[in-house]
Amino acid sequence: MLECDFWRHGEITRLLLACDEELYPIVVCALMTGMRQGEILRLRWEHIDLANGIIYVLRTKSGAPREIPIASKLSTVLKGLIKGDGGPVFTLLAYQVQRRFAGACKLAGIEGFHFHDLRPHLRIPLRHAYQ
C-alpha cells in the first residue's frame, strides 16, 4: 500500500470508525500531532494546556523537549477524557495499543499499516482537514 493511497481513498475515516473508545483518542492524537506512540502514552494532564492549545512533550527521541499546538478536533477529544484527577491522559499500555490498532486496521480493511505510520511528517493538509 502506498502512503498516498491510504489518505486518498478514505481509509483514515474507516480506521477512526474501527477504533474502540480507548484507542480512538490515541489515534487522533497521533494523527493531529505527529507524536510518537511512547510520547503519547507518557502524556500527563499537567503536560497539556488546553486553554492555550499546547502539548508539552518533555521526553522525546531527540532528547529536546518541544511544544505541539493542539488542533480543535484534538482539543475536543481531550476535553472528553478529563476526569479531574490529573495523572496520565491515556491508560492503555504499548502492547495494548499495538494489538488494538492491528485489530482496528483489520476491521477497517487496511493492510500493512502500523501505528508509526500515523506520524504525519508530510501530512499537514490532513491535520488541517480535521481541525
Give the start-to-end residue ranges of the domains of the chain.
Answer: 3-129
Domain 3-129 class in CATH? mainly alpha
> Which cell goes with 5?
493511497
Q: Which residue has the higher pLDDT, 108 or 125?
A: 108
DSSP 85: S
Instruction: Please tell me the predicted confidence (pLDDT) of residue 38.
Output: 93
Q: What is the pTM of this model?
A: 0.84
Task: Using the structure block, give the residue that is written with the C-alpha cell 483518542.
Answer: 25
Task: Give, in order, the Cα–Cα distances in Å from 73 to each of 2, 31, 65, 78, 127.
Answer: 26, 11, 23, 9, 9
Q: Which residue bears the cell 505510520?
A: 117
Q: For residue 4, what pLDDT is reported?
A: 47
pLDDT in tens, 86-107: 899 999 999 999 999 999 999 9
Task: Please write the tens of the pLDDT for every residue from 28-47.
Answer: 999 999 899 999 999 999 99
